[in-house]
Amino acid sequence: MSSIRYTPATICAVATAPGRGGVGVVRVSGRDLLPLAAAISGGKTPKPRYALYTDFVAADGGAIDNGLMLYFPAPHSFTGEDVIELQGHGGPVVLRMLLARCVELGARLAEPGEFSRRAFLNDKMDLAQAESVADLIDAASESAAKGALKSLKGAFSHEIHALVDGLITLRMLVEATLDFPEEDIDFLQAADATGKLAALRQQLDKVRATARQGAILREGMHVVLVGQPNVGKSSLMNALAGDEVAIVTDIAGTTRDTVREEILLDGVPVHIIDTAGLRDTDDVVEKIGIERTWQAVERADLALVLVDSTEGVDEGVEQILARLPDGLPLVFVFNKIDLAEMTPQQDTHNGHPAVYLSAKTQQGVDLLKARLLQMVGFSGASEGVFLARARHMDAITRASAHLEQAATGWQQIEIFAEELRLAQNALSEITGEFSSDDLLGVIFSRFCIGK
């Protein structure tokens, strides 16, 4: 146990989900837990990594429950400390009694994510792997679960470590030239420093593309439906969701508030937001709905601009387009092709993708689903994707910007060296090699109790 560098108080928590179940698990982590194990098991000494069937006893010797006790001595455990798991019956009262017994023996209740945090601090996993534990638990689709497992096994971390190692090698090369300023440029050219930097930038671009797909798998994309009243927004939402989640009538202005629904497209979570029809109105309630529509548009990743195929892009549609935020990706959806006697197809309109469909008959809806995935850059090949978070993408973006600055000013050696250092620090934030205690507190506080 001398290898442990993070040894605070013993902690305990129920590691199974709240409620009743066939099995419930209480997890304990800390230093020198054999006395605690003996006290709970009535004097028995568990053998490392073997299941011990025993009664779990109270202070007066009476049985609280019976089940299996597992003992994982440090450092060969999830947290890197001694870990004991008590696997008993999954009743809330029994688990509370077991937890109280552990506290009575000197443990304290664990905070959210404290087991995973100790695993990170004891070098059992890096920060990206620790976050993937929570992502695996929270995965909303099979693809997201597979991506989280890849991250947990170190796929994402391996890519980041390879980039950091490359930057360290390049930094060593650059730092060596600072002692010989008369020969620095020639030395860097002879060592192909710019070629090495270009290779690192290309490698980082590949990681960013994969991480972006992973971020989409984890977070999903927010798609807002906008258009004039009675253009078929609610019908399209129902068609995409595969259910009657929005009220559909022939009366203009039926939808007066935003309606949200989450669907899965090839394992990618998509948050569809149906909105009030955009028009001038004196109706107070409808005005509130329209204002909320624009608020939803501001937060969206993508806008579907619905157009009645029988009428085309008229002045009302143009007014909506003029108010859309600059840079917001959009797709024109020409609805009601069944009335216009048109066929489903993909095209472009004013430089933007356009899909012709009928939400009522669902002709062409599959074309729109495929277009949605294309618009966010998701290739559909999720097998090699690892999950990524917003902070990961931010770190990668900052690292990329620093490498771009390094490539631009590489002949100014001090600037070149500094930009490489900043890029390395940004990437190291992902795995936790360069991070603040405040950041760790925010990350692990969002984990569930017992992990």
Tell me the pLDDT of the chain (451 aa) as tens digits.
334 444 479 999 998 888 888 899 999 999 999 999 999 999 999 999 999 999 999 999 999 999 999 999 999 999 999 999 999 998 899 999 999 999 999 999 999 889 988 998 898 988 888 888 877 877 777 777 777 788 888 888 899 999 999 998 888 777 766 665 555 556 666 667 788 899 999 999 999 888 877 777 777 778 888 888 788 888 888 888 775 544 333 434 444 445 677 777 777 778 888 765 544 454 545 555 566 666 677 777 888 899 999 988 888 888 888 888 888 888 999 999 999 889 999 998 888 899 999 988 989 999 998 888 777 666 555 556 777 788 888 999 999 999 999 888 777 888 888 999 999 999 999 988 765 565 566 667 666 776 6
CA dist 370 → 184, 269, 362 (Å): 52, 14, 14
Do residues 154 and 112 both lie within one domain?
Answer: no
Do residues 250 and 159 both lie within one domain?
Answer: yes
Do residues 115 and 132 both lie within one domain?
Answer: no
pLDDT tens digits along 146-199: 777 888 888 888 999 999 999 988 887 777 666 655 555 566 666 677 888 999
Res 436: pLDDT: 58
Domain annotation covers residue 343: no
CA gap 178, 163 in Å, rounded: 23
Q: Which domain holds residue 223?
A: 127-326+371-432
Domain annotation covers residue 440: no
Do residues 53 and 121 both lie within one domain?
Answer: yes
CA gap 417, 175 in Å, rounded: 7
Residue type, 83: V
Res 417: pLDDT: 84
Q: Is the four-CA dihedral 278, 281, 285, 287 of positive or negative sign?
A: positive
CATH number at residue 98: 3.30.1360.120
First to last CA, the chain: 22
Do residues 197 and 311 both lie within one domain?
Answer: yes
With tokens 């990681």, the residue in question is 207
Using the 3D structure, point to which of 84, 108, 125 is the last residue of a domain: 125
Do residues 317 and 427 both lie within one domain?
Answer: yes
Peptide bond into 344 cis (omega under 30): no
Total domain count for the chain? 2
CA gap 339, 393 in Å, rounded: 44
CATH number at residue 270: 3.40.50.300
Residues forming a β-bridge with 162: none
Rg (alpha carbons) of the chain, rounded to whole number: 29
Domain annotation covers residue 65: yes
Using the 3D structure, point to which of 125, 151, 168 is the last residue of a domain: 125
CA gap 65, 85 in Å, rounded: 14
CA gap 335, 369 in Å, rounded: 14
Do residues 211 and 200 both lie within one domain?
Answer: yes
Do residues 210 and 131 both lie within one domain?
Answer: yes
Do residues 137 and 284 both lie within one domain?
Answer: yes
Do residues 148 and 194 both lie within one domain?
Answer: yes
At CA 264, angle to CA 259 and CA 265, rounded to 5? 115
Do residues 396 and 414 both lie within one domain?
Answer: yes
